Each structure stands twice: as structure tokens, then as C-alpha cells.
Amino acid sequence: MGCSSSPPAACVAAAILLAASLLACHHGCAAAAAVPTLSTASRWVVDESGSRVKLACVNWPSHLEPMLAEGLGKRPVGAIAGDVAAMGFNCVRFTWPTFLVTNASYSGLTVAQSFLRLNLTESLAGIRVNNPGFVDLKLIDAFKAVVSSLGEHDVMVILDNHLSKPGWCCSNTDGNGFFGDALFDPDVWVDGLTKMATMFAGVPNVVGMSLRNELRGPRQNANDWYKYMQRGAEAVHAANPRVLVILSGLQFDNDLAFLNSRPVNLSFTGKVAFEVHWYSFSNTQEWSSGNANQACARITAGIARRAFYLLDRGWPVILSEFGVDNRGGNTNDNRYYGCAAAAAADLDLDWALWALQGSYYLREGVLGLDEVYGVLDWAWCKPRNDTALRRVQALQRPLRGPGLAEAAPYAVLFHPVSGMCVVVRRRSPTPTLAQPFELGLGPCSETGAWEYSAQQQRLGLRDTAALLCLRAEGAGRPATLGVTCGDAMARWSLVSDSKLHVAVNATSSSSAGVSDSDGNGLLCLDVGADGRSVVTNPCRCLSADNSCDPQSQWFKLVSSTRSVVTKQTMLAQLPLKLKSWKIRSF
């Protein structure tokens, strides 16, 4: 069943794809050689030495009616855990329902009993083939076995209390939404948190506990939030002082704004973080019905006011759920992703992608439901969408933080919709003193150190023998690097509401031949037809237009202090006459 009954060639192909994913993130994915003990230092998550640990997680549900980690009927647990690590995720947000440890009618079940009571005979048969040792385990022991398997692959685990009664989450009226709801007894919840914290206190790869997923419903209010979330946090820390304690907000984990005027009051420090969720549907259909630049600016500002402001207050904020329909046909998701990825890169966020699973045993009454947001395909054999996986892998590498002061701060030109960055691609076929280089998209680990002066409108590569400025050469033509920095074609500004369009005003240039969609004569950085070259084209979708997609022209200037890795120094590539020139830098 699943990969276990696939033709050998299909399994080989799946293994090759996953191996390729591992190689793709070889230069800086967040996976560590050993699992650290985590704490916080201001807004950062750090290890025992005080160095940054970026949480690049994927969600793996175990909270639905069967109460078993999804996918064990498709693949051996060790193979799935190995795939998680191979794809560059260093962490799993592993979900669980309170009743797993507090309600005897659930906690006493074996895996076989749980599946048989739900008539999931086909899934149980798959578990017997792929994970025979799980069949007669109690559900909590099966949960522990999955955590252990992840630990064998040096994958950290955050235990997420997703809801009380097992099932799909979430609605305002499911009884699981807020303290005092029919299925959400605060005392039972604290008891469940305490039991789980105690149970995993000696398990090194359990590095955090998320107290409750997506508080919601008509009963929610800030006063009860403080009363019970602080109580839950204290209970977890008392039972297991080693783990991070992660607090969620109100309104389906979209709102932490109330903390602006009243911070949490806990007896411990250095172990507290917050989490927020961000999907396209968090803003209904704003992405597809409005102008993408204006939607990006408005929605990003909103989530900053509600949650990301806490970063500046010295608190880690984990984007613990985000993701898209990986089939690629959802316009709302497609426009949202580039904006969300730009924000995640700009803030260098810790995050957890929704989701790992390609399918479910049972979701909302449907057997074997396909999860279109899943990283893996329905059979759990291979990545569902290689392009989507590669672009999220670009966010796995930390860019700055404690222990990463390897270079003076510089900018990375990040292209969020592709997950790549602007790199020096090659020398022009006929280099001149003015235009010796062309640019392209490549791995962000291979970027140069860009520097932008908003006052001078100059964007160039530093740490070179001469100042090399980014230049536009005209509509549809490759962008270049050269030493001519003073004219209009080398003066760059951020021109759209999203601040993701990097443009020159080519109106006065006789060679540009340009008029953008708004008639402003602006040329924006863009991706060429080959999907790799960096060109300039008339700027698109700057305002008003709701029908066009600007994302090929979206570039984010992201701050980094990581060492700049190059195969050959820029100085070695410069024409001989240029090496002796002395041109002032910024």
C-alpha cells in the first residue's frame, strides 16, 4: 500500500527526488547535527551556546479521530521521518488532542482498536504492512514512537495541543474553541498539558509545547486568555522546564494585539514564545479580488499590528501555520504566497508549514481524503509539487541572529515566488568597463553582498575592488552590473505599495523605449522568459488593476549577516583595466 506496493522504479524515483531535495538545501538548511535545548534571547530562539536556531518546521497531524500520526498506513515511520529531514525541515509541529491523555475511552485504546471502531480497515491493513509494530500499541505509545523516530533523524518536535476531542479543526461552534466551551474544560486541559510535559520531559528532541491551537468562538475574551494561558504555561514549565512554552492568540490565532497593552506575567523567563497563523483565507478573497500590491501592503501591515510587533518587543513569534494549495490553481493562494514569503524572509521568522501529510485516514467523514496543502503526494511517496517545495526551502536558512554575525549587514535580493535570489550569473559575452556582468536567479546561499542607498537610489555589490552598480539597459533586456552609477538607469527606488517592485525611471532615457502599465515610464526588475535571467520590463500592477499578477517582478531586499559564499571572487572576474580604478563606495 502506498509506496510499499508501488513498482520498484516509482520508489527509486521518489528516493531520487527526496535526495535531490536534500542536496538542494545542502548550503544552509536549518537541520542540525544534534538536537539542542532551546531558550530565547530577545526575539530569537537560541541553543545552549546562545547561537540562533531557526525553527523550519512542518506540521504533522495526529489529532484527528484515529489519534495516530497520519500516513503510517502508507510508509514506514522511519521513512517518513527521514523524508522530513531530507527535505530540510529541522522540526515537526506534532499535533495531539487533549482526550488522548485525559479521557479513558480514548487513552485506553490500541491503534487497532481505534481504527476498527472507525471502520478504517483498509488503513489498518496498511499499518500492518508498513508499521506492524504499531498495531497493538496504545495510542500514546504510538505517539511516543513517532517522536522517537523523528529524534533518530535529529528532527526537533513541538507538541501542539490542537483541540480537546479528536477531529478536524476548526470552527466557531465545535465546542473546542475557548475555555469553558462544552469540550474545553480548563482543568482538564491543564491536566493534559501537565501529563504530556511530564511524559516527554526526558525526551531530548521534544523542544517545545504549544499550549492550544486557534482559540476562537463567541466566548473568547482577553481576561480569560490571561487567566488560563498563564496557568497552562506555568504548568508546562513546572513539569518540564527544558521546553519552550508557546502561546497562541485569539481569533483563530490571528490576533495577539491585546498583548500590546498588557504583557504576560509568568514566573519564568527565557522560555516563552508566541505563535500566529497566516493563510490567504485569513483575509477571505482579498488577494484575488483586489490589486495584489495593495493587498500585500494592507494585509502585511495588519499582521504586523496584530502579531509581528512583538518581535520588536523582544519576543519570538513563530508563524506556526501557513501554506497554499500545492496544485497551483488557487489565485488567492498564489498571490498570497509571494507576499507571505517576502515577510517571512524579511523578518527571518521561525515557522511551521501546513502541512506534511499527503492524505488522511479520515477527515470530516471522508476516507483517504487528499490534502492539497500537503508537501507529500497522496501516497506519501514523493513531493507533491517540486517547485513549491524548493521555494519554501529558501526560507529554511537563517539569515541573521545571535552567532551569525559573520559579515557586516548587507542586503539579499530575494525573489519570493521562486525562492531564489539575484546572483552574479556570468560575465557578458563581450564585457566592457561599464557593463562587465550579467545577473540571474540562483540559490540564496550563493548571493553577493548587495547594498542599497535609498538617498542616492543606488543598488550595488559591495566588497569589490570597484563599486559595481545595478543597471537597467532597457525594456526586455538583461540587468547588468557596471561602474557607471550616476545616470537614471542606475537609480533604483521601491515604487509600489508592497515595496516589492524595484524600479528605475526610464522616461528620460532615449534607449529605454518604455511605458509601464500606469504610464509612468518605470522599468522594474523582472525574471526573463527562461525563468532564470534577471531583466527589466515595464512595471506591472502597481495600483488599481485587480486582474494581473505582479509576482515575477517582486523582489525583497532582505537583511543578512551570513558570510557571503562565492566560488570565485568578484575581483578575479573584473577586467584588468577595471581592477586599478578607485571609485567611492556608499
How many Cβ atoms from other residues are within 10 Å of residue 24's Cβ? 18
* pLDDT for res 509: 56
How many Cβ atoms from other residues are within 10 Å of residue 210's Cβ? 25
436 and 349, same structural domain?
no
569 found inside a domain: no
DSSP-derived secondary structure letter, 36: P
Q: Are strands 458-461 and 450-453 parallel, antiparallel or unpaired?
A: antiparallel
358 and 427, same structural domain?
no
In the block, residue with C-alpha cell 526573463? 528
- CATH number, domain at 378? 3.20.20.80
Degrees to nearest 5, angle at CA 387 with 444 and 26: 40
**Contact, 521 vs 505, CB < 8 A?**
yes
Degrees to nearest 5, angle at CA 247 with 222 and 152: 165
Q: Residue 511: which residues within 8 A CB-CB, separation 6 or more? A: 473, 474
* Distance in angstroms (rounded) separating the CA atoms of residues 121 and 102: 26
15 found inside a domain: no
416 and 369, same structural domain?
no
376 found inside a domain: yes
Degrees to nearest 5, angle at CA 347 with 561 and 499: 105
Domain count, the chain: 2
* Distance in angstroms (rounded) separating the CA atoms of residues 404 and 424: 23
390 and 417, same structural domain?
no
272 found inside a domain: yes
Examine the fold and report which residue of 338, 365, 394 is the final residue of a domain before the chain moves on: 394
261 found inside a domain: yes
* Distance in angstroms (rounded) separating the CA atoms of residues 350 and 352: 7
- CATH number, domain at 459? 2.80.10.50
251 found inside a domain: yes
* Distance in angstroms (rounded) separating the CA atoms of residues 189 and 98: 6
447 and 382, same structural domain?
no
Q: At residue 192, what are phi and psi to the nearest 5 degrees?
A: -65, -45
432 and 351, same structural domain?
no
Whether a cis peptide bond, with omega within 30° of 0, leads into 355 is yes
**Contact, 213 vs 174, CB < 8 A?**
no
250 found inside a domain: yes
Question: Within 13 Å and on the Cβ side, how many CA atoms surround 338?
Answer: 29
Q: Residue 341: which residues within 8 A CB-CB, separation 6 or more? A: 391, 392, 394, 395, 416, 417, 419
Among 555, 341, 563, 527, smallest CA distance to 449 is for 563
> 414: domain range?
410-560
421 and 388, same structural domain?
no
**Contact, 553 vs 540, CB < 8 A?**
yes
Among 496, 504, 508, 512, smallest CA distance to 554 is for 496
Q: Where are the alpha helices (DSSP H) in 256-306?
A: 286-289, 292-303
* Distance in angstroms (rounded) separating the CA atoms of residues 270 and 334: 37
* Distance in angstroms (rounded) separating the CA atoms of residues 274 and 259: 11
Residue % of the chain over a pLDDT of 70: 87
**What is the pLDDT tens value at each position of the chain, 586 positions in all?**
446 444 334 443 444 344 444 444 433 444 445 789 999 999 999 999 999 999 999 999 999 999 999 999 999 999 999 999 999 999 999 999 999 999 999 999 999 999 999 999 999 999 999 999 999 999 999 999 999 999 999 999 999 999 999 999 999 999 999 999 999 999 999 999 999 999 999 999 999 999 999 999 999 999 999 999 999 999 999 999 999 999 999 999 999 999 999 999 999 999 999 999 999 998 888 898 999 999 999 999 999 999 999 999 999 999 999 999 999 999 999 999 999 999 999 999 999 999 999 999 999 999 999 999 999 999 999 999 999 999 999 999 999 999 999 999 999 999 999 999 999 875 555 555 545 577 999 999 999 899 999 999 999 998 877 778 999 999 999 999 888 888 999 999 999 999 999 999 988 654 545 555 554 789 999 999 999 999 999 999 998 888 889 999 999 999 999 998 754 344 344 443 333 332 222 2
Please report, for the chain, how many H helices and E strands are present, in that order: 16, 25
495 and 356, same structural domain?
no
526 and 487, same structural domain?
yes
Cell (9 digits) for 535: 531583466
148 and 64, same structural domain?
yes
* Distance in angstroms (rounded) separating the CA atoms of residues 268 and 184: 26
59 and 151, same structural domain?
yes
Examine the fold and report which residue of 343, 370, 394 is the final residue of a domain before the chain moves on: 394
* pLDDT for res 67: 98
521 and 465, same structural domain?
yes
Strand partners, 56: 351
Among 81, 72, 71, 60, smallest CA distance to 128 is for 72
* pLDDT for res 158: 98
Look up the pTM and report it: 0.91
* pLDDT for res 12: 37
